[in-house]
Amino acid sequence: MNEQTFAELSAGYALGALSPEDEIAYREALDAHPEWTVLTTVDADTASFLAEGVEEVAPPAHLRADLLSRIGAPAGQSSPAADAAVVTDAAADAARDQDAADADDELDDDDPRAAASGYSVGSPATEQLQTVERRNWTRSLFALTASIALLVGIGWGVGTLTSDMRAPSAESVLAQIQQASESHSNTAELADGGEATVYWSPEVEGVVLVADGLPEIDDSQSYEAWFVRGEAPIPAGAFESSDGSAAMLLEGEMHAEDVIALTIEQSGGSPSGLPTTDPIVAIPTNA
**Per-residue pLDDT in tens (0 to 9) along the chain, 287 residues:** 778 788 888 888 888 888 888 888 888 888 888 878 877 888 787 777 666 655 666 667 676 777 777 766 665 555 555 455 544 555 555 556 565 555 555 544 454 444 444 444 444 455 555 554 555 555 455 444 544 454 445 454 545 444 444 567 889 899 999 999 999 999 999 988 899 999 999 999 999 999 999 999 999 999 999 999 988 999 999 999 988 999 999 999 999 889 999 999 999 999 999 999 999 999 999 85
Rounded to whole angstroms, the Cα distance separating 161 from 75 reads 79
Are 22 and 83 members of one domain?
no
Are 176 and 274 members of one domain?
yes
Are 96 and 197 members of one domain?
no
The pTM of the full predicted model, rounded to 2 decimals, is 0.44
Within a domain: 99: yes
Question: How would you list the strands of the sheet with 232-239, edge to edge?
Answer: 232-239, 221-229, 259-266, 281-284
Range of the structural domain that residue 99 is part of: 58-112
Give phi and psi for 115, each to the nearest 5. Answer: -65, -30
Rounded to whole angstroms, the Cα distance separating 78 from 252 reads 95
Q: Are 251 and 215 spatial neighbours (Cβ–Cβ below 8 Å)?
A: no
Within a domain: 134: no
Of 78, 93, 112, the one marking the end of a domain is 112
Into how many domains does the chain fold? Answer: 3
Within a domain: 121: no
Q: How many CB atoms lie within 10 A of CB 107?
A: 14
Are 27 and 83 members of one domain?
no
Within a domain: 230: yes
Query: What was the pLDDT predicted at 11?
Result: 83
Query: What was the pLDDT predicted at 7?
Result: 82
Q: Are 268 and 283 spatial neighbours (Cβ–Cβ below 8 Å)?
A: no
Within a domain: 164: no
Query: What was the pLDDT predicted at 17?
Result: 80
